[in-house]
Chains A and B, each alone.
Chain A
Amino acid sequence: SAVISQKPSRDICQRGTSLTIQCQVDSQVTMMFWYRQQPGQSLTLIATANQGSEATYESGFVIDKFPISRPNLTFSTLTVSNMSPEDSSIYLCSVAPGQGFSYEQYFGPGTRLTVT
């Protein structure tokens, strides 16, 4: 298993600003993911954060808008840049510490972002 913490837990930001969300894991993990979850909806994968290389982004998400850092195997950041009200959402990081194909994911507590 893995214990994950995220900072901040919530924030209210003004349009046009940027927010960096931190994700810390209590053990070294290879696979780390960033998700977005709109209220009452399911999870949408933003990107996979790779240690030592650029993140892999899903369709509809770009590095300029959501730059990601992964400096080591226990830490990652996601920045939401030039925010608009449409970016209001819960942002979750998750890890898949297991071996093999049963990539059970563990999720952080989430960051609730409101953009005004």
Chain B
Amino acid sequence: GQNIDQPTEMTATEGAIVQINCTYQTSGFNGLFWYQQHAGEAPTFLSYNVLDGLEEKGRFSSFLSRSKGYSYLLLKELQMKDSASYLCAAMDSNYQLIWGAGTKLIIKP
């Protein structure tokens, strides 16, 4: 079957760096997405990886290893506003998104 695994919750300190991991198993693969969702709000797009390697976008970077079925989202210089859930989603061969349950990130001062 198809499956996405990511930690349920993580805690980090303001100004620090945190890495949120995601492993996936899908029927075929057409890319890996990361979304941010603040409590009570809709998800917003953060990144898309389809090739191996690291994609950097400001304080946020996303990494993909297709051979390992693995991705991570790296957040640097954490700010209080980064407290949110981070959703990993893999696109299968039918271009359907398979969503993870999300990682709730708590930032402490």
- Once A42-B87, A42-B101 are accepted as A-B contacts, the answer to whether A101 and B42 lie under 8 Å apart by CB is no
Does A55 make an interface contact (CB < 8 A)?
A: no
- Asked if residues A106 and B45 are in contact (CB atoms below 8 Å), the reply is yes
- Asked if residues A110 and B42 are in contact (CB atoms below 8 Å), the reply is yes
Q: Report how far A54 CA is from B35 CA in the complex, Å.
A: 29
Interface residues of A in 91-116 (CB under 8 A from B): 92, 101-110
Does A29 make an interface contact (CB < 8 A)?
A: no
Most buried by A among B30, B42, B44: B42
CB distance from A95 to the nearest CB of B (A): 12
Across chains A and B, the number of contacting residue pairs, with CB separation under 8 Å, is: 40
- Asked if residues B50 and A101 are in contact (CB atoms below 8 Å), the reply is yes
Does B69 make an interface contact (CB < 8 A)?
A: no
- Asked if residues B42 and A42 are in contact (CB atoms below 8 Å), the reply is no
Nearest to A107 among chain B residues (CB) is B42
Does A45 make an interface contact (CB < 8 A)?
A: yes
- Asked if residues A45 and B31 are in contact (CB atoms below 8 Å), the reply is no
- The size of the chain B interface, using a CB distance under 8 A, is 19
Most buried by A among B41, B43, B48, B99: B43
Q: Report how far A42 CA is from B42 CA in the complex, Å.
A: 11
Instruction: Give B41-65 as 1s and 0s: 1 = Cβ < 8 Å from A's Cβ atoms.
Output: 1111100101000000000000000
Does A41 make an interface contact (CB < 8 A)?
A: yes
Which of A105, A106, A108, A109 is the one whose CB lies under 8 Å from B97?
Answer: A105
CB distance from B86 to the nearest CB of A (A): 11
Nearest to B43 among chain A residues (CB) is A107
Q: Report how far A13 CA is from B3 CA in the complex, Å.
A: 34
- Which residues of chain B have C-beta atoms less than 8 A from A44's C-beta? 99
